[in-house]
Amino acid sequence: MCDRSLRLFKEMQMQGEIPDEYTFTSTLKACRGLGAFQEGTQIHAFLIIRGCPIPVQNIISGALIDLYAQCGYLFQARKVFDQLETKSVVPWTTLIIGYSQEGNLSEAMDLFRQLKGSRIPIDRFVLSSMISVFADFALAESGKQMHSYAIKTPSGLETSPFGTC
């Protein structure tokens, strides 16, 4: 499926079609799924050359942050994140997870603290992601504290983030 998406994107370009933000986002997600970092960076370069205002395009920026983070290029992911004029909870969470997966707990925690200090509402996905971060690092006590915080937070864990039977 990812291969097909990337192929269709290339065909669109060859036919002179101008992709919209949803096409770019889907194609960047396909690049991530394939581990096609080179193609993803080419799309990023195309957006820059085309003059796409990436800092205001949260949907595209989220996909770029995800691509860079999942391919292990956190410096680039952070650069895109820092350029965002307004940040939704999605890029924050994506970057937190990226740092966690790379083994950088201190940066993941620092970002979470910054997110808590912002005016952006923390949702269930962020909270369950943070619990997973602590599980990944075998920090049971911190995970329990986060779970307690999640239960007390208005947008917290009304139901289990891990599904039900």
Q: Does one domain contain both 43 and 108? A: no
Is residue 19 exposed (0-12), middle (13-18) or buried (19+ Cβ within 10 Å)?
middle
How far is 90 from 62, CA to CA, in rounded Å? 7
Asked which of 53, 86, 119 is the last residue of a domain, the reply is 86
Is residue 113 exposed (0-12), middle (13-18) or buried (19+ Cβ within 10 Å)?
exposed
Report DSSP state, residue 121: P
How far is 22 from 143, CA to CA, in rounded Å? 36
Task: Summarize the confidence of residues 122-129 as an average pLDDT.
Answer: 81
Evaluate whether 134 touches 100 at the Cβ level (below 8 Å).
no
Asked which of 86, 116, 148 is the last residue of a domain, the reply is 86
Is 163 part of a structural domain of the chain? no
| pLDDT, tens digit (0-9, with 9 covering 90-100), for 80-89 | 999 888 888 8
Is 19 part of a structural domain of the chain? yes
User: Rounded to two decimals, what is the model's pTM?
Assistant: 0.77
The pLDDT of residue 165 is 42
Secondary structure class of 164 (helix, strand, coil)? coil
The pLDDT of residue 164 is 45
Is 47 part of a structural domain of the chain? yes
Look at 72 and 50; give whichever has higher pLDDT. Answer: 72
Q: Which residue has the tokens 């890029």?
A: 91
Secondary structure class of 86 (helix, strand, coil)? coil
**Which residues span the domain enclosing 99?**
88-157
Check whether 33 has a pLDDT greater than 70.
Answer: yes
Q: What is the mean pLDDT of the chain?
A: 82
The CA dihedral of 55, 41, 77, 95, to the nearest 10 degrees, is 100
